[in-house]
């Protein structure tokens, strides 16, 4: 199985969903995050692994230990795909 890491900036689309905008990739091909996606965000100068969850209004990033962070736009993020 091969891994592909997709890295970019979090943006919100016209439907208020979070998407991963990668440099050089057209916006229409952006990866859309839905509840339950595992991802990593760049926080305090390190990659933090967790899970993205939406509550109907906002998107949250849950990490080990029960901590959660409200996801802002333009945060650096990455997602690993397995092929």
**Tens-digit pLDDT profile for residues 41-77:** 998 899 999 999 988 888 999 998 889 999 888 999 9
Tally of residues, the chain? 83
39 pLDDT above the threshold of 90: yes
User: pTM for the whole thing?
Assistant: 0.83
Domain that holds residue 70: 3-82
* Strand 68-70 versus strand 59-62 pairing type: antiparallel
CATH number for the domain that contains residue 76: 2.40.10.390
User: Is the CB of residue 30 less than 8 Å from the CB of residue 19?
Assistant: yes
Domain count, the chain: 1
Q: Give dist(CA 27, CA 25) in Å, integer.
A: 6
């Amino acid at each position: 199985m091969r891994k592909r890491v997709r890295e970019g900036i979090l943006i919100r689309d016209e439907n208020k969903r979070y998407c991963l905008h990668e440099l050089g990739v057209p916006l229409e091909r952006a990866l859309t995050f839905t509840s339950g996606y595992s991802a990593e965000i760049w926080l305090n100068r390190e990659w933090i692994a967790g899970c993205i969850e939406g509550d109907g209004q906002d998107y949250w990033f849950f990490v080990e230990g029960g901590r959660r962070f409200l996801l802002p736009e333009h945060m650096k993020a990455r997602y690993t795909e397995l092929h």
